[in-house]
Chains A and B, each alone.
Chain A
Amino acid sequence: MTLPLSGPPPGLRRTGLLRSLPQYGALAAVLLANWLLFPDFFSIRLQDGRLFGSLIDVLNRGAPVALLAIGMTMVIATRGIDLSVGAVMAIAGAVAATMTQAGWGLPAVLAASLGAGLLCGLWNGLLVALLRIQPIIATLILMVAGRGVAQLITEGQIVTFVSPGLAAIGSGSFLTVPMPVVITAALLAVTALLVRATALGLMIEAVGVNRLSSAGAGVNTPVVLVAVYVWCGLCAAVAGVIVTADIRGADVNNAGLWLELDAILAVVIGGTSLLGGRFGLLLSVVGAAIIQAMNTGILLSGFKPEFNLIVKAAVLLAVLLLQSPVLTLLLPRPKGARPVSAPLKPAIQPAKRESGSVKP
């Protein structure tokens, strides 16, 4: 690989544990709070060859958002955003349920529903990469129209099905671990391998930091952009199939509704900047786990679930404030030292930020 990126800023590739401390700290704090409110929180038992317990439940229920967050992380790293993932979930779920009901076998059903997700991602990617439409509007199109398309597939019905094979994807288990958790872990591993074992991750970050210069440096930006959106569509389709398999039916009006916002939230909590550049896949999944642990905690504690959104907003604002460039500048520094944030967060330079603040 002869990428002419001779000198990436020293901080760009730094992935220290120290940097991710806020996220792991937040997760630990939320889990600890759950444990204090609900002493049985960490107890896990084995029943009928499957693990049960609140902690397992957090992972299991957090799986769809974690899956979306994996794809969303890379889209956001290219300075884009994908608002359509919830609608893509609905489309993939509708395809899976309708085809299963029509009597197709599991391999065909999975291929078709994941293929639908890939196509949706391709559409988004082409709009962003070739037509150069701002990601937020480009994906808004599919977000608005996608649920309509899904309803077209199911003909407006809530399609239910009986298929032990498909249902196992949602509620089955593999080596005692619930299937959604296994799938999420596998997809995370594959994605991490794809972007970190090759130069792809570097290129994604380069496109996010500056699309024009990375093209000048020889990165094939359209291909990178299309690939990211296609992968995001695939992740959304997997999440959609899991949700459909879990409830053994496709409810296109509610499947994945507003999950795109949760996914963006998970990515932001995970420390990936909406302004593109450096990203952390694992941290985004940790972000999804934090969100789900908060949801579960609020449910377990007997607090009214109404407080859920406010707690979420408070956590979001706290994480954002911690990452705010203004706060970084206010912190005391050794005399004469330049703020570290400049090389660490190359995207947050005033000129870049202002011109693009509307298309995060």
Chain B
Amino acid sequence: MIHRFLPLVVTIAVLVVGFLLCAMQFPNFASLRVVGNLLTDNAFLGITAIGMTFVILSGGIDLSVGAVIGFTTVLLAVLIEQGGWDPPAAFAAALLAAALFGAAMGAIIHVFRMPPFIVTLAGMFVARGMAFVLTTDSLPINHPLYGDLNDVAWRFDGGGKLSLPAMILLSVLALAVVLAHWTRFGANLYALGGNRQSAELMGVPVARTTVAVYTLSGLLAGLAGIVFSLYTGAGYSLAATGVELDTITAVVIGGTQLTGGYGYVLGTFAGVLIQGLIQTYITFDGTLSSWWTKIAIGALLFVFILLQKGLLAAWTGRGGEPAEA
């Protein structure tokens, strides 16, 4: 069943080839420092994208993640700086708030049978709005623990390091792979995304799984918000605007089908790194304008979608999705 993994293999191959091309052009590129920074800079995006992968696998979508990240950073800044909370307590509160927010959206989607797109769009407005209500200013977080946490790193020879955000990203990735492939929840998820009615008939707990997957997405967005606030050392209500689209792009580049039921967390991780690689390349080059990032990612998205369509059509013989006119 090698072809099942082909989109994943292609994504990873593009990542490796892209990295090698960059390394050929810039000798300093192939260093642990660059790889470490790639992981650190994209940690919040990667964590969010892993949550998004689960939602998309279940046949849904979550547009609220960027706003939840923004809300989390503001909530942390307000609790720590203005409320005098200990950062760990604030982290717990933020994670709880984000998870409950996701659960509420999942419940609305399931109970009222509303399209996830529009419910999570409303969720995006609510989360961004709550962040605005808390404060519209950018609040710096000066708690000493933030400095300590930012110093936590696994250092390598030659100046490279695996920072705390990168470590969190890799742990979340490992847990997510286990969750998707070796637990009942993961099996339910794939079944639900493949065909909701069949899943229901087979006895998959649709309600519980739907609520759980949006809770997970909210929770991971909250975690990404914590990582983002560590990374920037501030809380800002406009933080992470548009991240929902970056994550969806990463998920699609990673080979997951937006119709649900097919895809891999690992592919999403590669998709995030490909986006990061393009940005790093443009930074290294120095002469290219940053808007080329957007064009390159758009073009890449197009090529990957075509590729996956072609692969699926060639191997499944049925076009890989319901026949349409």
Contacts and interface: CB of A to CB of B under 8 A. Distances in A.
A148 B111 CA distance: 40
A310 B129 CA distance: 5
A320 B125 contact: no
Contacts of A326: 111-113
Q: Which secondary structure dominates chain A's binding surface? A: helix
Interface in B271-299: 289, 291-295, 297-299
Contacts, number: 157
Given A131-B309, A132-B324, A320-B122, A156 B291 contact: yes
Nearest to B117: A360
A348 B291 CA distance: 41
Nearest to A207: B325
B302 A327 contact: no
A144 B298 CA distance: 6
Interface residues of B, number: 54
A135 B114 CA distance: 19
A313 B125 contact: yes
B181 to A, nearest CB: 21
Contacts of A308: 129
Interface stretch (A190-198, A214-222, A230-238): A214-222
B324 A309 contact: no
A81 B117 CA distance: 11
Nearest to A312: B125
B121 A306 contact: no
A264 B121 contact: yes
A179 B202 CA distance: 59
B63 to A, nearest CB: 8
A146 B294 CA distance: 8
A152 interface: yes
Quick one: which of A143, A304, A313, A360 has the most chain B CB within 10 A? A313
Interface residues of A, number: 61
A136 B258 contact: yes
A234 B292 CA distance: 25
B60 interface: yes
Interface in A248-304: 261, 264-265, 268, 274-275, 304
Contact of B126 (A134, A152, A275, A309): A309
A131 B310 CA distance: 10
Quick one: which of B59, B113, B249, B297 has the most chain A CB within 10 A? B113
B210 to A, nearest CB: 10
A316 interface: yes
Contact of B325 (A151, A221, A309): A221
Interface in A144-159: 144-149, 151-152, 156
B115 A306 contact: no
A230 to B, nearest CB: 19
Interface in B122-165: 122-126, 128-130, 132-133, 136
B298 A358 contact: no
B249 A145 contact: no
Interface stretch (A51-59, A160-168, A349-357): A349-357
Nearest to B109: A357
Nearest to B111: A326
Given A149-B295, A211-B325, A310-B126, A134 B259 contact: yes
B117 A274 contact: yes
Interface in A78-137: 81, 131-134, 136-137
Contacts of A221: 325
Interface string B93-132: 0000000000000001001111111110111111011101
Interface in A26-56: none
A355 B195 contact: yes
Given A221-B325, A324-B113, A316 B121 contact: yes
A211 to B, nearest CB: 5
A309 B297 contact: no
B118 A145 contact: no
A142 interface: yes
A140 B304 CA distance: 13
A357 B133 contact: no
B125 A316 contact: yes
Contacts of A333: none
A310 B125 contact: yes
B322 interface: yes
Nearest to B119: A320
A320 B112 contact: yes
B112 A214 contact: no
Given A353-B113, A357-B115, 6 more contacts: A275-B115, A304-B133, A309-B125, A310-B125, A311-B129, A355-B259
Q: Which 3 pairs of residues, A with B, have the shortest CB-CB distance?
A: A145-B298, A215-B325, A309-B129
Interface of B: 56, 59-61, 108, 111-119, 121-126, 128-130, 132-133, 136, 195-197, 245, 248-249, 252, 258-260, 289, 291-295, 297-299, 301-302, 305-306, 309, 322-325
28 contacts: A134-B258, A134-B259, A137-B248, A141-B301, A142-B298, A144-B298, A145-B294, A145-B297, A148-B298, A151-B289, A211-B324, A212-B325, A216-B325, A261-B124, A265-B121, A274-B117, A305-B132, A306-B133, A306-B136, A309-B128, A313-B122, A313-B123, A313-B125, A313-B129, A316-B118, A317-B108, A326-B112, A357-B59
